[in-house]
Amino acid sequence: MIYEKKLVGKFVTLRSITPEDAEFSYNIRRDPRFVEVTGQPAYTIDAQLSYIIEQRKRKGDYYFVTIDNLTKNKIGLIGVYDIIGNSAETGREICIGDAFCAMEARCLLQDFIRDVLQLEKLRFVVYKKNERVVNLCNNLGFIVKEETIRSGMPCFYYEITVEENEKALEKSRKLIYDRAVKKKII
């Protein structure tokens, strides 16, 4: 689906992916740093373009490009999809920006989920190979609901409430605010 508005933060802006983003999306998903932890990438730019065109029509599927507010460069992807009742899956997350950009993209997506979609529960999978995110989930106290296979790779499946995710993002929000103050953005 297309969300017409932009989600604007201090350091990044999220906007719905467009067909013009196919090459960027294709390249970042095939980047060796991410290919083992982001699922199966498209085989060609044309295949990625077709995916984006279909995704934009798919009800309950929001796919965003992350834009660096300072440089205006595309630096990542993130999404919420498979909305069923009051629950959705989050993921498709890749960011080549710094940690603050990645944190803020997650916070903006959380705001969208809470305020626009008004959902109550979140689902997500983390590839077992993605040790950094698995450790983060463990440190945040998220409990693995089950082990599963996605794109042929073993994963951990989580379910949390939007409220639990908000609590997990409190520290990120404070760090973003403090950095914005330091950089005199606010």
Per-residue pLDDT tens over the stretch 71-128: 999 999 999 999 999 999 999 999 999 999 999 999 999 999 999 999 999 999 999 9
d(CA 130, CA 166): 22
**Over 90: is that where the pLDDT of 39 sits?**
no
Would you say residue 173 has pLDDT above 90?
yes
Supply the pLDDT for residue 3.
98
pLDDT tens digits for range 130-166: 998 899 899 888 999 999 999 889 999 999 999 999 9
